[in-house]
Amino acid sequence: MTAAVEAQVCVVGGGPAGLALALELARRSVSVVVVEQSSRFDRSFRGESISPDSVWLLQRMGILDKVRDQTLETRRMEIVDRGRTVLSANFSDYDQPCPYPMELPQPPLLTALADAGSELPGFRLMRKTVATALLREAGGPVTGVRCKGPDGEFEVRATLTVGADGRFSKTREMSGLPYEKVPLERDFVWFKVPRPAVWDGHTYRIRIIDNRHGLFIPTVPDLVRVGFNIPKGGLRDMRQQGISALHARMDELAPEISQGVRESVTQWSDTSMLDIFTTVVPRWSRPGLVLIGDAAHTLTPVLGQGVNHAITDAAVLARLVADAFGEGDEPAALGRATQRFQQEREGAVTRARGLQLRQEKAFALSGRIPGLLRSTAYRLANSSSRIKRKVFANLYYPLQEAAASDPLLIAPVPVPGPSTTVHSPT
Ligand SMILES: Cc1cc2nc3c(=O)[nH]c(=O)nc-3n(C[C@H](O)[C@H](O)[C@H](O)COP(=O)(O)OP(=O)(O)OC[C@H]3O[C@@H](n4cnc5c(N)ncnc54)[C@H](O)[C@@H]3O)c2cc1C
């Protein structure tokens, strides 16, 4: 076993939640070690739609400018049910500092977060390193993690361990915190195709026919990210029908991309399947440990909320944890901070999950009458600017609205200079 590494905080998982948290902590002079199992950030088909509130947070973190050329603004959204537009929204109608959702692939986002962190003295990212066990004193708090890295096993000892290791979180499993995994009735298949000339590059399109729906999201560079539903566990059946089954589905939902799909999606390995479930974790923390991002609350792909809540968790937790390290009895102060974190975040997560589940139910309606009810509901919402504004305000702009009345809610952090003293990892 190699020598132990020490830090005030150990973060398991270098996804959007873990890296944003580590950056924000290091900026507040808290020493932090991130252990990340993969060697590179070249993941594809992961959360790429960033909600306006997260765009705003990334701007305040100084990250947005570093990735601007890899982003695309989504300026409009339209839902077309059986060929008729039933709801459309123009995000320029929302008077917010950052009104537009954005497409931003994860590789540039994670690279920018890691690069910004690496400039700070208290930040350390250990790649190719898997957390394999929690360290804990008998009956006492979690005191870090045991890891396996390229040079063998070692321990990271920390006053606070953060599980940011995603939807299949091993930290959550090892912590013993109870949770409930709720599978949805349908799974999702993703792929990317060139954007057809007849589509502008800034409209998020949702197409529905009976209980089949597709998401068509323009992304960089000149592509469309496409997702469509399949029955739960139904990929094997669909694969057996050959790739022509996917082509036929696109012919039905979006003939504009039929040709592009035939040219660029020639086998099922050109696609990625997302097993859709949500996870409800009643308690996000226990002494010495807290869960954030997908580990605490896995969401569905509807309206790009996973990355949004991961980044918001990071921003809120960093503030509370840094304050707790400034108090006398650190374990007790951290316990209060992690509980407060859940109190501050849980309402927004629950609202997003509720909206996603209602949307999924609407998408899954089958038959003439249920289909008519669905399109009537969309049309009603569309005809009332008050309802539309309320739905998007709840989903896309709660932080920006709250910050307008309380500018200190998520205050930007001054970047510490080289002379700042931090508790450095060994
Ligand atoms: C196909 C697909 C499409 C999606 N589309 C969207 C979208 O458009 N918009 C959106 O907002 N969300 C989307 N999501 C969800 C989004 O990707 C997640 O919500 C988001 O990435 C959560 O961030 P996170 O940091 O909590 O977890 P993750 O991004 O999952 O990061 C967890 C990290 O932990 C690491 N890790 C895991 N176990 C260990 C271990 N034991 N030791 C060390 N490291 C470990 C992993 O390698 C990973 O880097 C999508 C997800 C998928 C799979």
Residue located nearest, by CA, to atom 20 of ligand 1? 307
Pocket of ligand 1 (CB under 6 A): 12-18, 35-38, 45-49, 130-131, 164-167, 170, 190, 272, 274, 293-294, 301, 304-308, 310
Asked if residue 292 lies in contact with residue 317, where contact means CB atoms within 8 angstroms, the answer is: yes
* Domains and their CATH numbers in the chain: 5-73+101-182+277-364+385-405 (3.50.50.60), 185-274 (3.30.9.30)
**Phi/psi-derived region of residue 114, left when phi > 0, alpha when psi is between -120 and 50, beta in every other case:** alpha
Q: At 258, phi and psi to the nearest 5?
A: -50, -50
Cα–ligand 1 centroid distance for 166 (angstroms): 5
Average pLDDT over residues 94-111: 94
Residue located nearest, by CA, to atom 19 of ligand 1? 306
For residue range 287-298, list pLDDT tens digits in order. 999 999 999 999
Average pLDDT over residues 234-257: 92
Three-state secondary structure call for residue 277: strand
Ranked by mean pLDDT, which of 35-49, 259-273, 391-405 comes out on top? Answer: 259-273
The reply to whether omega before 221 is within 30° of 0 (cis) is yes
pLDDT at 415 over 90: no
Average pLDDT over residues 321-342: 94
Q: At 374, phi and psi to the nearest 5?
A: -65, -50
Residue located nearest, by CA, to atom 7 of ligand 1? 47
18 vs 214: CA distance, rounded Å: 30
Asked if residue 375 lies in contact with residue 81, where contact means CB atoms within 8 angstroms, the answer is: yes
Cα–ligand 1 centroid distance for 199 (angstroms): 29
Residue located nearest, by CA, to atom 50 of ligand 1? 47
Can you tell me which atom of ligand 1 is nearest the CA of 217?
8
Select the more confidently predicted residue: 188 or 256.
256
Q: Which residues of 209-231 are buried (b: 16+ CB within 10 A; e: fewer)?
A: ebbbbbbbbbbbeebbbbbbbbe
Cα–ligand 1 centroid distance for 376 (angstroms): 35
Residue located nearest, by CA, to atom 29 of ligand 1? 15
Residue 421: predicted pLDDT: 35
Average pLDDT over residues 169-176: 97
Cα–ligand 1 centroid distance for 107 (angstroms): 12
The position carrying tokens 């998401």 is 215
Cα–ligand 1 centroid distance for 392 (angstroms): 24
Residue 101: predicted pLDDT: 95
SS3 letters across 119-158: CCCCEEEECCCEEEEEEECCCCCEEEEEEEECCEEEEEEE
- 408 confidence band (pLDDT: 50, 70, 90): low
Residue 19: predicted pLDDT: 98
Query: What tokens does 178 get?
Result: 């109870």
Average pLDDT over residues 249-271: 95
Cα–ligand 1 centroid distance for 105 (angstroms): 12
- 31 confidence band (pLDDT: 50, 70, 90): very high
For residue range 115-172, list pLDDT tens digits in order. 999 999 999 999 999 999 999 988 889 999 999 999 999 999 999 999 999 999 999 9
Cα–ligand 1 centroid distance for 255 (angstroms): 31
Query: What tokens does 269 get?
Result: 């390995």
Residue located nearest, by CA, to atom 31 of ligand 1? 15
Tell which one of 219, 294, 298, 356 to mutate to probe ligand 1, the residue whose CB is within 8 A of the most ligand atoms: 294
Sheet holding 76-81, edge to edge: 84-90, 76-81, 203-209, 212-219, 223-231, 186-194, 272-274
Can you tell me which atom of ligand 1 is nearest the CA of 45?
1
Cα–ligand 1 centroid distance for 296 (angstroms): 12
Tell which one of 11, 33, 34, 46 to mutate to probe ligand 1, the residue whose CB is within 8 A of the most ligand atoms: 46
Residue located nearest, by CA, to atom 14 of ligand 1? 47
- 234 confidence band (pLDDT: 50, 70, 90): confident
DSSP string for residues in 365-389: --SHHHHHHHHHHHHHHHH-HHHHH
> Rounded mean pLDDT of the chain?
91
Tell which one of 188, 307, 316, 395 to mutate to probe ligand 1, the residue whose CB is within 8 A of the most ligand atoms: 307
Can you tell me which atom of ligand 1 is nearest the CA of 190?
1
Cα–ligand 1 centroid distance for 228 (angstroms): 19
Cα–ligand 1 centroid distance for 408 (angstroms): 29
The CA angle 401-407-410, to the nearest 5 degrees, is 85
Cα–ligand 1 centroid distance for 294 (angstroms): 7
The position carrying tokens 């009104």 is 99
pLDDT at 184 over 80: yes
How much of the chain exceeds pLDDT 70, in percent? Answer: 94
Asked if residue 316 lies in contact with residue 344, where contact means CB atoms within 8 angstroms, the answer is: yes
Asked if residue 309 lies in contact with residue 317, where contact means CB atoms within 8 angstroms, the answer is: no
Select the more confidently predicted residue: 143 or 356.
143
Can you tell me which atom of ligand 1 is nearest the CA of 129?
43
Average pLDDT over residues 398-408: 83
